[in-house]
Every structure is written in structure tokens, then in C-alpha cells.
Chains A and B, each alone.
Chain A
Amino acid sequence: MTAPLLTPDLGTGSLEHRDRVDFRELRRARTDRLLDLMDEIEVDACIFGREANARYATGVRRLWTSLTRAFVPTCFVLRSSREAHLLSFSASYEGIPEEIAPDHYFPVTWNPLQMVERLSRLDGASSIRRLGVDGMTPLFRDLFAQVFPAAEIVGVEPQMRDMRRVKLDAEITCMRIAAATAEASLVAAIRAARPGVALKQIQAAYLERMSTLGTSQFAQQGTFSPIGPNGVLRWITPVDILPDNAPLALAGGALWAGYEGSLARTWWHGSQPPSPGQRSAAGEWRDTFMRVVEALRPGASGFDVLRSFAGSARGDLTARSVHALGLGHEGPIATPWLERATLEAEVVRVGMVLAVRELVACDSGGYLGEDMVLVGEHGAEPLTTLGHGPLAD
């Protein structure tokens, strides 16, 4: 089987012949999709606080911070005028797409009353009957009720998520670059690891490589931890040393142009060869992955996909996941902690990019792996292809 060419024309040397991504066109296409969605669900205006939604709606590139932010209005999109206004963190127009004029950009304020007062003065604000938001704090819920007294305030994150999950071609190109960056960073971490090295040093190697490749923004700061007996894994990288003859789980992710590339591997750095149990855990992971990929056909439900994991019910089952990726994590499709009704309602669609993650436990350790795939009409194509090193067949 020949490996597909995963990054066509993406080398920097080809830049003078063709653009990697026509970003202006990508921004226009995303905004159009949002406005079509607003028509469909009859929402007159949207105010988004989440980075990914604001970026999708307007192209704004904010200062990256980790942790979720409590809801603060970041952008305002009005259906009648098809215009966007920004309420961003930085006071400068850098990071703002050129099609958004300076008069559509609010100065920063720390005063929520001032912020909603400015919103209320926008043309068309008084005619809003249904206002879509992607999250809320009690404070802004009360303030919005005063500023838009006639408006019903509805949460539209599920609809946004459904829309964002089906990718445009340019988005997939971004994700191929992000996936390649995440792989390169993981390789740096694998090469930094050996028994007796600090786990934090392995994490440091990942993040250093990611940044030198041009993105300083994480999708996840990563898990670089040995897997203990019965698949016990500390997801928060501990301040500790990699012991000899322990499988090392490495998981991390990078954002490129906001789009996520993530993958995980378990590597063997021990002075002894891996035990038969450890080898069979790695083999079981690969078999599971192939089964799940086979199940990721257009029209399959989350319930079908979860069932395809099969395998023994050992270890941390909550690690088991198929989730959508795009502008960051776009929500689970199949995990053991989703309710049955949700699993049955989730449907695999063409154009989705999905991460498949599984942790297989064995007596002496286990195997954590995660790969990204793109769903096509005839099945899923891998976007990450890194090998499994000493734990390969």
C-alpha cells in the first residue's frame, strides 16, 4: 500500500507558485456559512465569547490563552446587515482581518455596563428578536436582558459545532499543516526521552519544537507520563523521572491558523525489550484503531462508532474517544460518558476531521494512542501517520 501524500504543495519552497491557503476566501466562506445558519435557525444576531466561534465568524486572531474564559462578548454578527463588529482583547488592529473596518471595532473596556451600552447603540440592535450566544455568565445574562429587552437569548453552540465540524477544503489544508506540526513536535519529544530523563524535559522538547516550527499556540500542553500497571496514566505531566522499562505515553497538540493537529503515541525506551503483554496491548490498540476507522463511514452513529471499539473493559475507559477537531476541539462524537440519546444522535459526515483515541491496559502497563482522520465518501483517510517505533508489529 502506498502512503498517501499528506502535505501536497505545503513546503515553503512552493510558496511562489501557489498559496497554501487563500485565507481571505476562507474567512468569507466561513462567515457566509454562519449567516446561512442564522437564516436557517432564525437568529437575528450572534454574540460569541468563545475564541473558536469568534474566529470562525470574523477571522479575528486573538491573544491565545489557555483555560476557558468566562463569557465575555468578543464579536457581534448582525444578520440583516451581514456585518461583524469586534470587541477584542487587544486595542490594536493587528490580528484583525482587513475586511473589518476600523469603525467596526470597539475599544477594550473592563466595564461590562459600558460594553453592553455600546452593543445597544449598534444599528439594528433594537430590532433583534432572537439573539444567539455560545455561552453565558449570570452577569451578562442579566445585562443582555436589559439591553435587548425584546430578544430571546438562545444558546447556539450545538448548531455552531455541527456546522464547524464539516470542513471546507482550505480548512483541511490548515489541519494537514497542524497535524504535521504536531507529529514533528511529538518526534522531538520521543527523541528527548530515555530512562532517567525528567518528564518535564520531554514536555519541554515538544513545546520547543512546536514553537520553532512557527506556532506558539497549543491545542493541548500534553501528557508525557509513564503508563503504570493496568493502564494507570497521569494525564497531568508530573514532576518526575522516566523510569526504565516503563511505556511512555506522549500526547500533544498544536494549533496552526487556529486549526488543531493532535496525536498520541506510546513509546518504549526501556533497556529491556517490551514484555509480551505490552506488545499485545500495542497490537490491540492498532486492531482497535483499524476497526474504528472502518466504522467511521458517512451515516454511522456515535453509538455504532463506540461499539466498534469493542475490546476488553479494562483500565480508564473514559480515555476512549472519537471527537471532532477543527478550530480546536469540536466536541465528542463517541465516548463512554456520552448519554445513549446523544450517541444515537451524533452522525459521522463527509468532511469531518476526527481524532480517535484509545488507552489499552495490560498487567505491566498499556498503550495510549490517538490519530486524526478525515472522513470521505468511502471512509476515513489518516491525517497523522507517525509509526509506533519499538512497539510496532
Chain B
Amino acid sequence: MTDLIIDLVSIDHGRMRDERRSRLREAMRAQQVDALVLLGPTNVEYAGVKQPCADAMRMHHEPVIVILCLTGPVHVCTRFAEGVAPGDEIAGPIAAETVPGVAALAARIRDLAGSRSRVGVDEYTSTMLNELGLALPGIELVDAATVTGAARITKTADEIACQREAQRINETAMFEVERALIPGVRQNELTALFLRRIFELGATANIIDPIWSLTPRSIAAATHTANHDVGFPLASDDRFLREGDLILCDTGMSWNGYHSDFGKTWICSLDPRPTAALRDCYAQWQALFDEVAAVIRPGVTCGDLVRAAQRVEHKYGLSHFYLGHGVGCDSAEMPFIGSDLGIAFDDTIELTAGMTFVLEPVVWRDGVGGYRSEELVVVTDDGFERLSRYGYSPFA
């Protein structure tokens, strides 16, 4: 595990910020965009600006807005001065959901980007939708997502080191949670333990309500679903977990802006022993993962990964999910692999060194149950490296 220690001490936060901004500007030049106006917290984070983590409505009404042009200092409208890097231009917050606030934002955009520019916007508040275009005649407003998407899909070495640390914290916390999974524990007690541990270990934020999905062994016995597949994730109900319950867990937190993703299949018991049939699901899951993993290297497409999965298990996941998805400043971001966007879409995305994604196939046998684990990997020059290192108890 020495690589882990070397990576941690080598993170250079200034370099990471500079490289990300270079990538954004490179994508802006390629797409002829003069300026970006970023409201989405994960885009703001990627642009090198920090803010406290909160419920969505709080972040919406106390917004942090970044205006990034091809040249010149990055302009940040925020009330959290601590989150702004040295050299950036800091301005007060803008109320992006009021008419005068949007007028002020429009004036700022015109000053910084020029009155005949092409400006990428990632999200419109309700009032921006009504007012911003009218307030900026001569300025073409385009979708910032194509710019941010192009920049964010491949990670720098510093970003990967951050992801490694996020995953390490998440996994370390989970060892204690797994031990606490005994009959009579309530779901929120597991959450309490998880939250305490991740923050003690230095997490920046928890980013998803931890999922401890109590999964019936057959679809018919389970809650109804819209697509007649296994219901996952189920609503967070603070249920009692009882002897033999099959628990599909899924948690994610962030460290320095980068998200982890952790998913395993566990059994609630003082002495968890999977049935032989359930062990078969796990073995098939391993075979599936190995088949996909053998394909991962620069130059293959996401479609190649899907075809590899289907060689082992035609239905490699739940109908409403995918084989895998990218992880970065968002817990699920491009590339989406094996989703209902279709194989033609998957084939348009070629793997390159530095892409990180989580593979999360599910092997389900109705009447038995199933096995699901999430494996975070990073594509390297000649293959891939696993960032998930938790293991497979109680199946292994």
C-alpha cells in the first residue's frame, strides 16, 4: 500500500486547481466559448472554488457563482471568502433568484465576457430563465455542460489522489459499520456510526443519505417497482434490520471535492453465512467483474466493457441503472456505461488514462437474492488500477 502514502503527500492543491482551469479553458477554446458562468456546486468545485456542503435548497438560496473567462482572473460571487483561491477576484454574493440579482449578474457577465461574446451557462435559476437572455442582447448563451464535461472526464494525478483518499476514508469507516450490522440494529444507527467515522477520519462532506437497502430474495416479495426489477435503493425508513436480512449498502462522501462510492452486499447476523445459491451469485459477480476488468485499457470503448459483461451475464445490472458510471466532483458523472442511453452511445466514449469510474454490476437470481459490489477503478497507461480495496466479506 505504499503507493497510497506517496500519493497523499504528493497532492499539490494549487497545481490541481491550475490544471483543472487549463482544461476548462482548453475546452472553451475548442468549442469557441468566451466565458463560463457556473452555478452547479460540482462545477464550482471543479473551477477551484469551495463552499460548505448543505441541503440543495440552502445551496440554491446562498449561491456561489463563478465566472471564468479565457484570460484574466476568475471572478467569484460568494459569501465564503475562505473558499476563494489567492489571485481570484472576489465579489459579494448575487441573489440569482431575484430580478435585480439577475440584472446584476448580467452586468457582471457583460463586463467580463464582452458584449458580443459566447457564454456557457451550466444551470438557470427560475429567474435567470425568465430574465438573463433578455438582459444580454448580443451575447449568445450556450450550454456549459459540453465544456465542463470535456474537461472533467479525465482526471489529473492530483485529482486521482483525492479520489483515493475519499475512497480510503469511506472504506475505513465501513469496516466498523459492517461489524455493527447485527439483528436489531436500526438503519439510522448504522448511518450515525458511518457519519461519525467519516468525519473523524477527515471527510469534507457526506453527499448522499447512506443506503442500507433491505432486499427481499424475490422480486414478487419486494416492494412494487415501475420496471418490475429489484427495488433499489429503497427509501430511507430507519427500519429495524433482522436476522438474515440481505443488505445492499451504498454510501458516498467527499474529500477535498472528490467523491467516493462504496457498495457491498452484506447479511445481517451475528454469524453471517450466505446460502450456497447466494454464494453462486457472488462467484458469478466475480467472474463478470474479472471479464470486464480484463478489457479495461486506453483505446477501448465503454461499449467494449458492456459487451464483456454480457458475455458472462446478459443482464449485468438493474434495469434502471447501468454497468458503471464516472466518479469525480460528482458521485455519478460521465462516462455512464451500459445505461439506457444504449450501446451506440457507449461506443462513442473511448477510455483514456486518467478516467475514473465505478463498476457496479448486479447478479440477481429471483428467489435466491443477488450480489452487488461497487469497484472504483482508474484507467492507467496499460490497464487499470483498483481504488476500491475493501474485500468481499461475508462471501469471500
Contacts and interface: CB of A to CB of B under 8 A. Distances in A.
B55 A260 contact: yes
Interface string B237-251: 110000000000000
B359 interface: no
B224 A208 contact: no
B355 to A, nearest CB: 18
B336 interface: yes
B195 A337 contact: no
Contact of A64 (B81, B195, B208): B208
B196 to A, nearest CB: 4
Given A211-B188, A236-B50, A139 B59 contact: no
A110 B232 CA distance: 16
Interface string A296-336: 00000000000000000000101100010001111110000
B225 A92 contact: yes
Nearest to B39: A68
B280 interface: no
A337 B92 contact: yes
A329 B58 contact: yes
Secondary structure at the A interface, as helix, strand, loop or mixed, is mixed
A309 to B, nearest CB: 16
Contact of A158 (B97, B145, B235): B97
B206 A214 contact: no
A37 B241 CA distance: 43
Given A91-B320, A155-B125, A65 B209 contact: yes
Contact of B231 (A92, A327, A339): A92
Contacts of A68: 39-41, 56, 59-60, 123
A152 to B, nearest CB: 10
Interface stretch (A27-35, A101-109, A267-275): A101-109
Interface stretch (A8-16, A199-207, A286-294): A199-207
A330 B57 CA distance: 7
A246 B172 CA distance: 32
Interface stretch (A120-128, A129-137, A369-377): A129-137
Given A61-B235, A111-B341, A329-B62, A342 B95 contact: yes
Contact of B320 (A50, A108, A141, A203): A108
Contact of B123 (A63, A109, A136, A215): A136
Given A141-B124, A236-B83, A338-B95, A92 B224 contact: yes
B40 A157 contact: no
A203 B199 contact: yes
Contacts of B207: 65-67
Instruction: Report, as a range, how many residues of chain A touch the other chain.
Output: 35 or more
Interface stretch (A169-177, A216-224, A360-368, A379-387): A216-224
Interface string B319-361: 1111000000001000010011110000000000000000000
A154 interface: yes
B135 to A, nearest CB: 14
Contacts of A341: 99-100
Contact of A318 (B79, B141, B227): B79
A135 B60 CA distance: 10
A138 interface: yes
A159 to B, nearest CB: 9
Contact of A105 (B121, B145, B226): B226
B381 to A, nearest CB: 30
B193 to A, nearest CB: 7
Contacts of B210: 216
Nearest to A225: B82
A52 to B, nearest CB: 5
A332 to B, nearest CB: 6
Contact of A137 (B104, B124, B238, B321): B124
16 contacts: A50-B60, A63-B211, A68-B41, A71-B124, A91-B318, A102-B224, A102-B226, A107-B226, A135-B126, A136-B123, A138-B142, A211-B192, A217-B209, A328-B57, A331-B61, A338-B101
Given A66-B55, A155-B130, A339-B101, 10 more contacts: A50-B60, A66-B54, A108-B320, A211-B192, A212-B189, A219-B55, A235-B51, A236-B204, A328-B55, A342-B95
Interface of A: 50-52, 61, 63-71, 90-95, 102, 105-111, 114, 133-139, 141, 153-158, 161, 198, 200-201, 203-205, 207-212, 214-223, 234-237, 239, 253, 255, 260, 316, 318-319, 323, 327-332, 337-342
**Leading 6 A-B pairs by shortest Cβ distance:** A155-B126, A328-B57, A92-B231, A157-B126, A95-B235, A339-B100
